[in-house]
Amino acid sequence: MKAGFKSQCVPDYRLLTEAQIKELHRATVDLLWNTGVKVLNAEALELLENAGCRVVADHIVKIPGGLVEESIASAPSSVRVYNRKGDPAMELGGTNVCFGIAEDRLGLDVIHEVGPGGNYLAHEQTLKYCREEHWTPQLINRQSPEMWEKMGGQKYHEKVVEKALDILASHQPDRLSEEEVERLDAIIEKSADRLKREQLSV
């Protein structure tokens, strides 16, 4: 085999055919409306009812097929996952295959370079990623009891509440693009029209 060869082929692994997926989807939509699901949380019941679901006896919620299709259509096609430092780590969606470790951190080239019996700790890659991956928690206290008391003795739940209030006061979310705003407006308008039709038909 040629040394240094790297395949760019990503296999497409599927357990169900397209026809089977559609059949399963139809059966699920039918189940959600005709049988329904039990929801025990009062706030969730109210949200579902306001969205157009039918709440019947014993906390059973029947979800109309139109709402299911609308929710699927409005869901993002991909989700970006961030690491604990806040940097983008992977994109979940499409045919992407994601594993828990990046190729540069796996260090196959370093394994071949150092070899059996070599000193990985002395390698530049180990030093680089050791510094990057070392993480010090901001909320959990790792100090000794004496030092903790000397620093004020703030309890964990107090730090969590303080941090949450700080985030709520200072966080500025990213602005939606014009395209995203237009899509949301279209969904709201469509939902309002459907709700009016349902109210008129009652």
Q: How far apart are CA 69 and CA 72, in angstroms?
A: 5
For 79-110, write each residue's pLDDT tens digit: 888 877 778 888 888 777 776 666 677 778 88
Largest CA distance in the chain: 79
Q: How far apart are CA 160 and CA 173, in angstroms?
A: 20
Q: Identify which has the larger pLDDT, 91 or 5.
A: 91
For 113-135, write each residue's pLDDT tens digit: 888 888 888 888 888 877 666 66
Q: Is residue 26 scored above 60 in pLDDT?
A: yes
